[in-house]
Structure 1
Amino acid sequence: MTLLDSVSNVLNQYSSGSTPNAANATEHFDQVAQTAPPNAIAEGLSAMFKSNQTPAFGSMVGNLFNGSNGEQKAGMLNQLIASVGPSTVAQMAGGGVLASLLGGGASQITPQQAQNVSPEVVQQLAAHAEKTDPSIVDKASAFYAQHSTLVKTLGGAALSIALAKVAERQRA
């Protein structure tokens, strides 16, 4: 059995309507993420972020941010800031740290600066961004599709939702 056959078998489990054991979802997600195109993974992550069976988008982004390295933190922060704008960041509760980092005309947060931002601030920023620019969910999904190892920290239930969407896309 080739790796592609193995992934097809995994996705068939998620497309059958009966969700496999969530404990296996991390392993299954890893297999699928290694072979599926990034846009398919991003679509699955978007479904996961939007699901009413998972925590709120802001909460999940905050959790992912907490486990990220400096480059990943800066990448997500810069997307969120671009989505809401620096002036909104300055007005947010907890946005003072970010506003000070963006002071002096800076438009991007560096990986070193991102290490000084708390996951709680990112959670607030992501929740606000989702309300003002719903496309941020798809942008975050595309970003995290490139960092599938990080996504596995969200747990089996969330990954099962993402895998079901990837399986649905495969059937189409």
Structure 2
Amino acid sequence: MSRENDVSALLQQYAAETGVRSVQKVEQDFVEVAQQVTAETITHGLSEAILSDQTPPFGEMVGQSFERGDTQQRTGVLRELLDGAGPAAAQPLVDNGVLSSTPSNDEPAIFVDPAMVAQLQPSLVEQMADEAMQEDPSVIERMSSLYAEDPELGKTLGGVTLSVALGKMAEKR
């Protein structure tokens, strides 16, 4: 049996929603699939899962992911949210010293300080994610792409989201 067939069979298990799986098994399956399919397929599955009524709201998911991530992963999540939410969302973080801002050509440049990111409360990231989604709904696709590029970061989304994403990937195949 080829690896492609193995992945297809694995994804079909999620499409059929057969059985209860441990979070560790779902995470392992997600990483295995991520190594065998295109980033586009992963991005699509994650986007669909994020929009699903079977998963927590977007902001909550991102806040939990942020909390579970390491400093580098947290910094990446924060940068992507800031790109989606725009400068207004960054202001509370600048005011709290998490970010520094240097105005240039009427557009402030935002610098993310990894040392401060480690101290950032996930609830603030959750609020930023909700604001980013309101400002620019394409942030869901961009965040999904970020998670697809780094399966270890993707695992921070949690078992329910990953399980739904794997099922969505199976539907697309």
- TM bucket, shorter chain: 0.7 to 0.9
Q: In the alignment, residue 97 of structure 1 is paired with which amino acid? A: N
Range moving further from structure 2, 57-66 or 30-39:
30-39
- Structure 2 residue corresponding to 1:101, chosen from 94, 99, 102: 99
Q: Which residue of 9, 17, 38 maps to 1:19?
A: 17
Matched length: 165
Deviation, structure 1 residue 162: 0.2
1:124-135 aligned at under 5 Å gives the runs 124-135=127-138
- Which residue is 1:159 aligned to? 162
TM-score, scaled to structure 1? 0.84
Contact 1:95 1:121 in 2 (8 A): no
Gaps of 5+ in 1: none
Counterpart secondary structure, 2:110: coil
Give the equivalent residue in structure 2 for 1:149: 152
Separation of aligned partners in 1, 2:128 and 2:96: 12
Partner Cα distance (2:136, 2:82) in 1: 11
Correspondences of 1:15-164 after superposition (within 5 Å):
15=15, 18-23=16-21, 24-90=25-91, 96-97=95-96, 101-105=99-103, 106-164=109-167
Q: 1:95, CA displacement in angstroms?
A: 7.0
**Higher strand proportion (structure 1 or 2):** 2
Identical positions, percent? 35
Q: 1:136 offset after TM fit, Å?
A: 0.3
The structure with the largest helix share of the pair is 1
Unmatched 5+ stretches in structure 2: 104-108
- Measured in 1, the distance between the counterparts of 2:86 and 2:158 equals 31
Equivalent position SS for 1:107: strand
Residues 26-64 of structure 1 deviation map (CA, whole Å, 9 limit, x = unaligned): 332222112111111111111111111111101110111
1:95–1:20 distance in 2 versus 1, CA, 3 Å: farther
Q: Distance in 2 between matches of 1:152 and 1:75?
A: 15
